[in-house]
A and B are shown apart, each in its own frame.
Chain A
Amino acid sequence: MERIPILKIGPALLVTIQVDMHDELALTLEEDLTNRIVATGAKGVLIDISGLEIVDSFIGRMLANIASVSRMLDAETVVVGMRPAVAITLVELGLSLPGVRTALNAERGMALIAARLADLAQDDAPDADDEDAAPGA
């Protein structure tokens, strides 16, 4: 049966969707990914959907589901490489994927996961996102 490969890179799992998803494939991916997170104890999941040209509400919900399940298992999901047309479609479908982190490309997604790992490593590290307007002028 057709499967989407899940690669382990350090403490993160990498899923690259290169084909157009059909429902069964999506369900298999969700199950495989959950099992792999538990088996490897991964702290981050990177889903690259730059090859995905068509989404429907089912695939959108699948992405949200994967994110919720991963969060429950203490792994953060980052969806990267979404095409503009796909983003517009998801928003029009009312699926703005709250709770899913996003990044423009795989490199930035990896940086997000690395940042989270660094945070986990030293809990007292300050969060970079809290500052307000730039000082000085």
Chain B
Amino acid sequence: MPLSSDSDFSATGIPAILADGEAELTRAWNEANGALIGDGRIGRGELLTQCTDLLHALRRAAASGSTDVGSPAYAPVRDLLGELSRSRALQGFSATETASFVFSLKEPLFVLLRHHHGDHGPTLADATGAASRLIDALGLYTIGVFQRSREEIIVRQQQELQELSTPVVKLWDGILALPLIGTLDSTRTQVVMENLLQAIVDHGAEIAIVDITGVPTVDTLVAQHLLKTISAARLMGADCIVSGIRPQIAQTMVHLGVELNVVSKANLADAFGLALTRLGRRVVRNRPGTTPGSADRAA
């Protein structure tokens, strides 16, 4: 039978056990989790501190007579559990290990409950049920935070990846290169476009080379995104050259009927050569006998 009021919770004896048996519970709980220490991800002292602090907070929360883990009385417990599961996520523990840590409090608690209620079956069953529900709720809360911390890590990594994967490099005065790596979706196109346009303004560039060597597939959508980027660059007064179209991609694009309608070159070197020509520069070989090392320079 579920507990209907706070007075029932006191009657189960759980608050009293948490208060009287705190030291014993801490010891038993800590021992039950000895396996976690094995590979050095978490220290013996750290684990003991976590057990002690949690039980202390739990004792005070239970003394309020409430069993609602979401209530203000449980705020310190929630904070501790949140901190714990975040650090577990960072230390590389699995969700199972993190949850088991909380659930392993059940066993020692049940032992104490049996001592407390002796042979009185029905009360013992009620008390066990109440303790079980309380610890389940705490365990689920821990898993929730654990999952959220993992998702935060993933989102942060995605952002970093996105920023890293769209560099704009200056090849020469007035010539920029945009080496694209990975699939182009609308979010990335937006980032790429903004980076490129800002770089055009910053460097006063006249020509931008969009190199798609690292783009695994070009379908109609990717082509459309490319064209948008090129149109925007043209509006800013910069010409675009597309380079690095691999043989299979060229075939796929023709089969799909995708036309880029821009100057395209097979590789970055050819595109760079064309860009230099347009700016009225050319690459010449040094006369023999001049300083080695500064072999090729644009005139």
**Chain A residues in contact with chain B, CB under 8 A?**
79-80, 82-84, 86-88, 90-92, 96-97, 102-105, 108-109, 128-129, 131-137
Complexed CA–CA distance, A79 and B283 (Å): 32
Cross-chain contact A128 with B237 (CB below 8 angstroms): no
- Asked if A134 meets B237 with Cβ closer than 8 Å, knowing A87-B232, A91-B232, A96-B231, the reply is no
Closest B residue, CB atoms, query A134: B273
Closest B residue, CB atoms, query A132: B274
Separation in Å of the B41 CB from the closest CB of chain A? 47
Cross-chain contact B274 with A102 (CB below 8 angstroms): no
Separation in Å of the A101 CB from the closest CB of chain B? 8
Contacts A/B (CB < 8 Å), 18 sampled: A80-B237, A82-B236, A82-B237, A84-B194, A84-B197, A87-B235, A88-B190, A88-B232, A91-B231, A91-B235, A96-B234, A96-B235, A102-B237, A105-B237, A131-B277, A131-B278, A132-B277, A135-B282
**Apart from A104-B204, A133-B274, A136-B285: 10 A-B pairs, beta carbons within 8 A:** A86-B235, A88-B197, A90-B235, A92-B228, A96-B235, A102-B237, A104-B206, A104-B236, A129-B278, A131-B278
Residue B270 at the chain A interface, CB threshold 8 Å: yes
Complexed CA–CA distance, A10 and B281 (Å): 30
Complexed CA–CA distance, A97 and B284 (Å): 38
Residue B119 at the chain A interface, CB threshold 8 Å: no
- The residues of A that contact B284 with a CB separation of less than 8 Å are 136
Separation in Å of the A7 CB from the closest CB of chain B? 21
Cross-chain contact A104 with B274 (CB below 8 angstroms): no
Separation in Å of the B43 CB from the closest CB of chain A? 51
Complexed CA–CA distance, A103 and B237 (Å): 4
- Asked if A128 meets B283 with Cβ closer than 8 Å, knowing A91-B228, A91-B232, the reply is no
Residue B185 at the chain A interface, CB threshold 8 Å: no
Separation in Å of the B3 CB from the closest CB of chain A? 58
Separation in Å of the B161 CB from the closest CB of chain A? 22
Cross-chain contact B206 with A137 (CB below 8 angstroms): no
**Chain B residues in contact with chain A, CB under 8 A?**
190, 193-194, 197-198, 200-201, 204-206, 228, 231-238, 265, 270, 273-274, 276-278, 280-285, 296
- The residues of B that contact A109 with a CB separation of less than 8 Å are 237
Separation in Å of the A90 CB from the closest CB of chain B? 6
- Residue A102 contacts which of B194, B198, B234 (CB distance < 8 angstroms)? B234
- Asked if A84 meets B282 with Cβ closer than 8 Å, knowing A91-B231, A102-B236, A104-B206, the reply is no
Complexed CA–CA distance, A105 and B204 (Å): 9
Cross-chain contact B206 with A134 (CB below 8 angstroms): no
Q: Which 8 A-B pairs have the closest CB atoms?
A: A84-B197, A134-B273, A96-B231, A103-B237, A104-B237, A133-B273, A87-B235, A102-B237
Cross-chain contact A84 with B236 (CB below 8 angstroms): yes
Closest B residue, CB atoms, query A133: B273
- Residue A82 contacts which of B204, B228, B235, B285 (CB distance < 8 angstroms)? B235
Complexed CA–CA distance, A27 and B193 (Å): 31
- The residues of A that contact B198 with a CB separation of less than 8 Å are 84
Separation in Å of the B172 CB from the closest CB of chain A? 12
Separation in Å of the B176 CB from the closest CB of chain A? 12
Complexed CA–CA distance, A131 and B280 (Å): 10
- The residues of B that contact A86 with a CB separation of less than 8 Å are 235
Cross-chain contact B238 with A104 (CB below 8 angstroms): yes
